[in-house]
Copies of this chain bind each other. A is one copy, B any other.
Amino acid sequence: MQSPARPEMEFWYDFASPYSYLAVSRIEGLLSARQAPIGILWRPFLLGPVFKRQTSRSEPFQEVSDQQRRYRRRDVERHCTLYGIPLTWPSVYPRGSLLATRVALVAAAEGWCYEFTRSAFHANFAEDRDIREESVVAEILRSLGRPVHPVIATATSPDTKARLHSEVEAAMAKGVFGAPSFVVRGEIFWGNDRLEQAIDWAMDSFGGPARDDAAKGPTP
């Protein structure tokens, strides 16, 4: 495998995940502040099928206890305040992310994934707009100057459906089990609070040996 010309980081996310919203909202500022020339590979996926396969829990955004659910909300709110990120809790939570994820895959293939991703997260978590609805996704596409009907048609095609399926498989093969996750040369970083470390890893490890064994983890 040829080495890339600059460090790269895979950014795996689910549109229903508030911590993914935090990380998507922060990454541009972080890369800019650190002058980190990292290429971001946007990897929209669905956490639901990963959870169904790996655990006895069927729903990824149901925490294990009420206490944890309350804590998570408070934690997300504190981080939004800390970072100056707007937040209006979605009136439906978790909000199904299937349509937005399919559109994001189309956007990734065409090179406008970050713009769409940022807008769809903002709609869900800052404006409480129902991104499950085609009309809401259409509004986002229009605001980005994208042709609504061709994009939606491609996003809902069997090809894109198959592509999303294989993306979920790829996430699991890499060892990704949560969102957001950042993968840098085989090393996984999970959670908005690991974004800085992932960036450091990408910068530090650039040119070094790839950690093909990292996904398997250490043996104690």
Contacts from A to B (Cβ < 8 Å): 54-57, 64-71, 73-75, 77-78, 82, 89-91, 93, 172, 175-178, 187-188, 190, 193-194, 197, 214-218, 220
Cross-chain contact B54 with A67 (CB below 8 angstroms): yes
- A54: contacting residue among B64, B172, B197, CB under 8 A: B64
User: Could you pull out 20 A-B pairs where Cβ atoms are within 8 angstroms?
Assistant: A55-B65, A56-B64, A64-B64, A68-B178, A69-B217, A70-B175, A71-B175, A71-B177, A71-B188, A71-B190, A71-B217, A73-B218, A73-B220, A74-B188, A74-B214, A74-B217, A75-B194, A77-B218, A78-B197, A82-B197
Given A67-B177, A177-B65, A193-B193, is A217 in contact with B73 using a C-beta cutoff of 8 Å? Answer: yes
- A93: contacting residue among B56, B187, B220, CB under 8 A: B220
Cross-chain contact A89 with B175 (CB below 8 angstroms): no
Q: How far is the CA of A167 from the CA of B23 in the complex (A)?
A: 36
From residue A108, how far is it (CB to closest CB) to chain B in Å?
Answer: 24
Closest residue on chain B to residue A93 by CB atoms? B220
Residue numbers in B under 8 Å from A178 (CB-CB): 68
Q: How far is the CA of A75 from the CA of B178 in the complex (A)?
A: 14
Q: A67-B177, A71-B217, A74-B187 are in contact. List 15 more A-B contacts (CB 8 A).
A: A54-B67, A55-B65, A70-B175, A70-B215, A70-B217, A71-B177, A73-B218, A73-B220, A74-B217, A77-B218, A82-B197, A89-B218, A89-B220, A90-B220, A93-B220
